[in-house]
Amino acid sequence: MSASLEPDRTAVVVVDMQNGFCHPEGSLYAPGSEAVVGSVTSLVERAREAGASIVYTRDVHPPEQFADTHYYDEFDRWGEHVLEGTWDAELLETLDVREADLVVEKHTYDAFHETQLEGWLDARNVDDLVICGTLANVCVLHTAGSAGLRDYRPLLVEDCIGCLEEAHREYALDHADWLFGEVLKREAVAFASA
């Protein structure tokens, strides 16, 4: 499968490429996340050159976020991670984040939940979302699913998506392809010329 995308109607959404997940000293480091840094960077460079929008998401948790929750407690499930104001929560230094890019700070798996993402995309008439980053079956999957339910076209770039285990990535991509999105390889992502 391949996709020819209109750059002015497309955004690349880079999910949670942060120290906490992608750096060996991170609190929830996964080698599979670090392994896709180069591929993600290459995809972003190509998209930027074509004129597509770039979005980076940051998973950030205030230390007291789950203190009074009834059920939803990521610290209980994962331990404390990407705490607000810490090195763990910062985007990788190797990413080329620019002033024109949107950096979305999110507090759940879904980058649309209580963030400015949808309004920012709609203000730019973006329809197609090229989704990459980490973790495949957690924040990537929930963000892509949420995009599909909002009538964006989610395209998940399989060789630019990190994971804890390969089986998790395969599950997430199969589920997305079956239910709400499309899955393709990085070389199949093409941008139409103006």
Query: What's the pLDDT score for residue 177?
Result: 97
Identify the H or E element spanning 132. Answer: strand 128-133
**Band of the pLDDT at 73, cuts 50, 70, 90?**
confident
Question: Do residues 41 and 168 touch, judged by C-beta distance below 8 A?
Answer: no
Query: What's the pLDDT score for residue 186?
Result: 96
Question: Do residues 27 and 88 touch, judged by C-beta distance below 8 A?
Answer: yes
pLDDT at residue 61 above 70?
yes
Question: Do residues 108 and 78 touch, judged by C-beta distance below 8 A?
Answer: no
Sign of the four-CA dihedral 180, 56, 79, 72? negative
Query: What's the pLDDT score for residue 75?
Result: 80
Query: What's the pLDDT score for residue 194?
Result: 57
Burial 39-75 (b: 16+ CB within 10 A, else e): bbbebbeebbebebbbbbbbbbbeeebbeeeeeeebe
* Token couple for 167: 């089986």
pLDDT at residue 79 above 80?
no
pLDDT at residue 1 above 80?
no
| Domains present along the chain, CATH in parentheses | 3-191 (3.40.50.850)
Query: What's the pLDDT score for residue 57?
Result: 98
High-pLDDT (> 90) share of the chain, %? 85
Mean pLDDT of the chain: 95
Question: Do residues 137 and 163 touch, judged by C-beta distance below 8 A?
Answer: yes
User: pTM (2 decimals)?
Assistant: 0.94
pLDDT at residue 182 above 70?
yes
pLDDT digits (tens, 9 = 90+) for 39-50: 999 999 999 999
Going by their DSSP bridges, the two strands 102-106 and 53-59 should be labelled as parallel
